[in-house]
Amino acid sequence: MRAPEAEWLGSLAVSRLQVVSGKGGTGKTTVAAALALALAREGRRTLLVEVEGRQGIAQLFGTEALPYEERKIAVAPGGGEVFALAIDAERALLDYLQMFYKLGSAGRALKKLGAIDFATTIAPGLRDVLLTGKACEAVRRKDKAGRFVYDHVVMDAPPTGRITRFLNVNDEVAGLARFGPIHNQAQAVMSVLKSPQTAVHLVTLLEEMPVQETADGIEELVAAGLPVGRVVVNMVRPHHLDEEALRAAAGERRAEVARALSRAGLGGARRGGLAERLVEPLLTQAAEHAGRVELEREQRGVLEGLGLPTYELPLLGAGMDLAGLYELATELRKQGDEE
Amino acid sequence: MTAGVSAGMTVSAGMTESTAAPAMDTPPRLAVDALLDDPGTRIIVCCGAGGVGKTTTAAALGVRAAERGRKVVVLTIDPARRLAQSLGIDSLDNTPRQVAGVAGGGELHAMMLDMKRTFDEIVEAHADAERARAILDNPFYQSLSAGFAGTQEYMAMEKLGQLRARDDWDLIVVDTPPSRSALDFLDAPTRLGSFLDGKFIRVLMAPAKVGGRAGMKFLNVGMSMMTGTLSKLMGASLLKDVQTFVAAMDTMFGGFRTRADATYRLLQAPGTAFLVVAAPEADALREAAYFVERLAADRMPLAGLVLNRVHGSGADQLSAERALAAAENLEEGGIVDQESGKAGLRDSDAATPPLAEEPTRADENATVTATATVTVTEPDEGATDEGVTDGITADEITAGLLRLHAERMQVIAREQRNRDRFTSLHPEVAVAEVAALPGDVHDLAGLRAIGVRLATG
């Protein structure tokens, strides 16, 4: 029923678990959702998971808060489906206890005792183990016919500053719990996370701080042996004027600009005329634009130095909505195909 | 800023249209200088979603307060490298260091939180040497203190309590951790408290005390079943680490909770002011609204909202639609004036120097006129013919300027919608706007510039 082998999105489609991180404010939830849509091509099925309890996916898709339950939230062009799940650490722990130990009632007793609360909020790393564990379970899950239930799982992950610790916590936990089921569980999760089945993407803007964090984040991921995927440059603005034209406009061609504005019906070009008075503020804005373009060029250079495949997504002027999300998904597919 | 400009521009008749949605009831302005100058303000907490400029805002407030005469310490959690360098706190020693280059009568100190060190120091200060060693060497403690979810929040509040207790500064500005859920730092002390009060800790401690005489009375059948389960789940060795840790920490727990409660009360005290920091984006303002509600629920004193990276335009009387239409008009090259009256002006413009029409401005205009008359060789019959130099026509340049403007106006309109949504939810919250800067800030001059914008926005 579904396409057997992926020959699109380049090598990106190889990874069945796609983790999307990025500095706060770079739009990682949006990129994760667009990626889930892009991967749900030709009848494929993807699961989009969030792990920080922010209900960002529900807000993006304009639905009510997601329960702890996988539910379909979007249909991709070509019949693919996107499911979504907000993973809740406490529920994941109770599930886990039930699934592996048949601890239905004991689980409730543990909850009453405060043990579940302890495990999911205070006990070091357990929360993260549960969250990544649940995502890995979805990656490995098969139906009765032995096929994977989801072709891809896309995770809207914690921000760049915490991503390596978040993904690597199983290693630490496996070391801390040297034997026993937690140890085994942590090791099993790590075997998925450190394999080519996983790709960790970092979303950035063409600004200094996010780019610096991206560079630092990649270094940390590599040092921890976690597979780095793509850099996604988000909210890229179009460039309208080169610097030379701008200098000319601000200098010797100022009066010409005023007359052009006037010709376009925006008032008189003479000194004090409406068009003439537009020149100064328009030039100020253009100078700011040029400054930003210059900064962006520098930051692009830094990103190129990282030597990773890069996708670029445009800034959507009207703000983010469902139509914009599909637009970004199309853009990701296109760039994936060209890769 | 935008309001001032547009007020000034409405003088020009005939160009009154504006796309910026009519502002709703304008929120009160946050008087930043009054807040900084008030000797009663002892703590300012900057909170908000990640990526909105919390740390930069905290640093800028610190610089401004110090230069206005106060003795300030800024506690940052995870500053960007160059910002930390600009404050001279890029080396981690968990102690405030004085920042050089601050003008005026005050002093600025700054530090970056080292959470493991903060935790270690608490242990060392509250346990005898032998017990402290046992805790510091415990694998469970080492993981806990190395910064799993929650530790950073708790340690930030702990450090704030310490700084306040030293009473060396008359103002503490604190940045908050980029938490997964925004107000974790408020919850951390309570969470620790409820854990310490809970039954679970007694269960954990029971087996460790079995060997001793005192433990037996806790150990009923239900609990032994529980520890059995825990041992099965966690593995016996981890459970033992946890138990050893809990036993070693036992005597310190009281102190922990007392201080956590004290810090929480300190945050509610009148000398504390919370500033919610946001950018005019939908997500950040949604988080900000949540913060405002949460602070109110916890009876924490909110001073106002700092809105970073607000865009404005000096030409906001020209709508995005009109600018785009004009740009297309110029790009197509076939200029047909929509407003017939302008045609005459245009001709006279090209043919005669402006002083004929506006004698009073002739002097100011002399250079512009001179350039214009040199470059323009013929009246603009064919519009795109004018001044084709450098391979780009004036029309193309102008169309580019107009497209940039249209984009700017769209951004402004979007920001205004997001702000209106926040204002309609919380009309009482005072707002300080900080206009967007073209680049990043990483020196004192930049922080000072932000400070000026904070105070005058």
The DSSP code sequence of A182-209 is: HHHHHHHHHHHHTSTTEEEEEEE-SSHH
Contact A274 B15 (CB under 8 A): yes
Residue B319: its pLDDT value, please?
95
Contact B180 A53 (CB under 8 A): yes
The CA distance from A152 to B358, in Å, is 70
Q: Decide which of B329 and A246 is more confident.
A: B329
Whether A23 and A204 have beta carbons less than 8 Å apart is answered as yes
Chain B residues with CB inside 8 Å of A286's CB?
400-401, 404
Q: Decide which of A94 and B27 is more confident.
A: B27
- Of A163-177, A252-266, B418-432, the range with the lowest mean pLDDT is A163-177
Structure tokens at A210: 């996010």
**pLDDT at B396 > cutoff 60:** yes
Contact A177 B235 (CB under 8 A): yes
Contact A179 B345 (CB under 8 A): no
State percent of chain A over pLDDT 70: 91
Residue B91: its pLDDT value, please?
67
Residue A171: its pLDDT value, please?
76
Q: Decide which of B157 and B433 is more confident.
A: B433
Q: Rounded to a whole number, what is the distance in Å from the CA of B302 to chain A's nearest CA? A: 23
Contact A266 B322 (CB under 8 A): yes
- Please tell me whether residue B70 adopts helix, strand or coil conformation: coil
A298, part of any domain: no
The CATH number for A92's domain is 3.40.50.300
**pLDDT at B337 > cutoff 80:** no
Do A36 and A106 lie in a common domain? yes
Helix residue ranges per DSSP H, chain A:
28-39, 56-61, 89-101, 104-113, 115-117, 126-140, 160-176, 180-193, 208-223, 243-250, 254-263, 274-305, 322-338
Residue B258: its pLDDT value, please?
78
Give the pLDDT band of residue B214 (cuts 50, 70, 90).
very low
Residue in chain B lying closest to A259 (CA): B346
**pLDDT at B217 > cutoff 50:** no
Residue B251: its pLDDT value, please?
67
Q: Decide which of A47 and B331 is more confident.
A: A47
Contact A260 B394 (CB under 8 A): yes
Residue B215: its pLDDT value, please?
40
Structure tokens at B125: 């200060």
Nearest to A180 among B200, B226, B235 (CB): B235
**pLDDT at B72 > cutoff 50:** yes
Residue B355: its pLDDT value, please?
35
Residue B378: its pLDDT value, please?
36
Residue B89: its pLDDT value, please?
74
What is the 8-class DSSP label of residue B30? P
Do A140 and A228 lie in a common domain? yes
What is the 8-class DSSP label of residue A83? E
Q: Rounded to a whole number, what is the distance in Å from the CA of B87 to chain A's nearest CA? A: 16
Q: Decide which of A12 and A56 is more confident.
A: A56
Mean pLDDT of B36-56: 92
Do A252 and A189 lie in a common domain? no
State percent of chain A over pLDDT 90: 48
Residue A220: its pLDDT value, please?
94
Contact B143 A176 (CB under 8 A): yes
Q: State the burial class of residue B142 (Cβ atoms within 10 Å of its Cβ: 0-12, 13-18, 19+).
A: middle
Q: Rounded to a whole number, what is the distance in Å from the CA of B270 to chain A's nearest CA? A: 30
Do A267 and A331 lie in a common domain? no
Contact B397 A248 (CB under 8 A): yes
Q: What is the total residue count of chain A?
A: 339
State the helix-helix crossing angle for B444-456 and B54-67, rounded to 10 degrees: 90
Do A164 and A106 lie in a common domain? yes
Give the pLDDT band of residue A41 (cuts 50, 70, 90).
confident
**pLDDT at B376 > cutoff 50:** no
**Dihedrals phi, psi of B198, to nearest 5 degrees:** -75, 170
**pLDDT at B444 > cutoff 70:** yes
Residue B344: its pLDDT value, please?
36
Do A95 and A173 lie in a common domain? yes
Q: Decide which of A58 and A97 is more confident.
A: A58
Q: Decide which of B184 and A41 is more confident.
A: A41
Q: Which of A51, A95, A259 to mutate to test the interface with B (most CBs of B within 10 A)?
A: A259
* Average pLDDT of every residue of chain B: 76
Mean pLDDT of A143-166: 93
CA angle, corner A33, sides to A28 and A36, nearest 5? 125
pLDDT, tens digit, for every residue of B97-117? 999 999 988 999 999 888 888
Chain A residues with CB inside 8 Å of B80's CB?
209, 212-213
Residue B34: its pLDDT value, please?
97
Nearest to A54 among B181, B234, B361 (CB): B181
Residue B196: its pLDDT value, please?
62
**pLDDT at B19 > cutoff 70:** no
Mean pLDDT of A125-131: 80
Give the pLDDT band of residue A11 (cuts 50, 70, 90).
low
Highest mean pLDDT among A156-170, B64-78, B150-164, B336-350: B64-78
Residue A224 CA to chain centroid, in angstroms? Answer: 20
The CA distance from A111 to B445, in Å, is 53
Chain A residues with CB inside 8 Å of B140's CB?
124, 176
Contact A180 B232 (CB under 8 A): yes
Contact A26 B51 (CB under 8 A): yes
Q: Decide which of B192 and B151 is more confident.
A: B151
Whether A247 and B367 have beta carbons less than 8 Å apart is answered as no
**pLDDT at B351 > cutoff 70:** no
Contact A124 B354 (CB under 8 A): no
Residue B192: its pLDDT value, please?
65
Do A271 and A220 lie in a common domain? no
The CA distance from B159 to B163, in Å, is 6
Structural domain that includes position A262: 243-292
User: CA–CA distance from B280 to each of B70, B399, B413, B433 (Å)?
Assistant: 30, 28, 11, 10
Cα dihedral sign for A293, A297, A302, A304? positive
Contact A285 B405 (CB under 8 A): yes
Q: What is the dihedral of CA A145, A146, A149, A152, to 10 degrees?
A: -140
Give the pLDDT band of residue B392 (cuts 50, 70, 90).
confident
Q: How many domains does chain A contain in total? A: 2
- Of A91-105, B31-45, B267-281, the range with the lowest mean pLDDT is A91-105
Chain B residues with CB inside 8 Å of A177's CB?
234-235, 237-238
Residue B190 CA to chain centroid, in angstroms? Answer: 25
Residue B272: its pLDDT value, please?
96
**pLDDT at A64 > cutoff 60:** yes
Contact A255 B372 (CB under 8 A): yes
Q: Rounded to a whole number, what is the distance in Å from the CA of A227 to chain B's nearest CA? A: 22
* 3-state SS record for A299-330: HHHHHHHCCCCEEEEECCCCCCCHHHHHHHHH
Highest mean pLDDT among A3-17, A60-74, A174-188, B186-200: A60-74
Mean pLDDT of B384-407: 77
What is the 8-class DSSP label of residue A237? P
**Start-to-end C-alpha separation, chain B:** 7
Residue in chain B lying closest to A110 (CA): B226
Residue in chain B lying closest to A281 (CA): B314
Q: Rounded to a whole number, what is the distance in Å from the CA of B264 to chain A's nearest CA? A: 18
A-B CB pairs within 8 A amount to 301
Residue type, B127: A
The CA distance from A99 to A96, in Å, is 5
Chain A residues with CB inside 8 Å of B195's CB?
114, 117-118, 122
Domain positions in chain B are: 31-311+436-456
**pLDDT at B202 > cutoff 60:** yes
Between strands B107-112 and B171-175, the pairing is unpaired
A79, part of any domain: yes
Do A188 and A328 lie in a common domain? yes
Q: Decide which of B354 and B324 is more confident.
A: B324
* Average pLDDT of every residue of chain A: 86
Cα dihedral sign for B404, B407, B409, B411? negative
Do A153 and A254 lie in a common domain? no
**Dihedrals phi, psi of A203, to nearest 5 degrees:** -95, 135
Residue type, B134: A
Contact A122 B192 (CB under 8 A): yes
User: CA–CA distance from A308 to each of A230, A233, B298 (Å)?
Assistant: 6, 12, 46
Contact A257 B398 (CB under 8 A): yes
Residue B404: its pLDDT value, please?
92
Residue B57: its pLDDT value, please?
95
Do A69 and A171 lie in a common domain? yes
- Of A19-23, A318-322, B54-58, the range with the lowest mean pLDDT is A318-322
Do A148 and A98 lie in a common domain? yes
Residue B318: its pLDDT value, please?
95
In the β-sheet with A71-75, what is the strand arrangement from edge to edge? A71-75, A81-86, A45-50, A152-156, A17-22, A198-204, A228-236, A310-314
Residue B310: its pLDDT value, please?
95
Contact A262 B386 (CB under 8 A): no
A5, part of any domain: no
Residue in chain B lying closest to A50 (CA): B180
Q: Decide which of B420 and A252 is more confident.
A: B420
Residue in chain B lying closest to A169 (CA): B148
Contact B281 A271 (CB under 8 A): no
The CA distance from B336 to B325, in Å, is 12
Residue B168: its pLDDT value, please?
94
State percent of chain B over pLDDT 90: 37
- If one counts every other C-beta atom within 10 angstroms of the C-beta of residue B377, the result is 9
Give the pLDDT band of residue B147 (cuts 50, 70, 90).
low
The CA distance from A99 to B438, in Å, is 54
Chain B residues with CB inside 8 Å of A268's CB?
342, 345-346, 349
Residue A193: CB partners within 8 Å, gap ≥ 6? A17, A132, A136, A167, A170, A226
**pLDDT at A5 > cutoff 60:** no
Nearest to A282 among B194, B230, B405 (CB): B405
**pLDDT at A260 > cutoff 80:** yes
Q: Which residue has the tokens 């799940």?
A: A85
Chain B residues with CB inside 8 Å of A205's CB?
none
Cα dihedral sign for B196, B197, B198, B204? positive
Residue B149: its pLDDT value, please?
55
**pLDDT at B276 > cutoff 50:** yes
Contact B12 A52 (CB under 8 A): no
Residue type, B70: R
Q: Rounded to a whole number, what is the distance in Å from the CA of B322 to chain A's nearest CA? A: 9
The CA distance from A273 to A275, in Å, is 6
Residue B258: CB partners within 8 Å, gap ≥ 6? none
What is the 8-class DSSP label of residue A242? -
Do A231 and A247 lie in a common domain? no
**pLDDT at B6 > cutoff 80:** no
Contact A261 B14 (CB under 8 A): no
State the fold for domain B31-311+436-456: Rossmann fold (3.40.50)
Q: Which of A99, A129, A209 to mutate to test the interface with B (most CBs of B within 10 A)?
A: A209
Residue type, B142: Q
Of A50, A21, A33, the C-alpha closest to A213 is: A21
Q: Which residue has the tokens 């080492």?
A: B142
Of A282, A211, A104, A203, the C-alpha closest to B313 is: A282
The CA distance from A228 to A82, in Å, is 24
Chain A residues with CB inside 8 Å of B388's CB?
none
Residue A103: its pLDDT value, please?
65
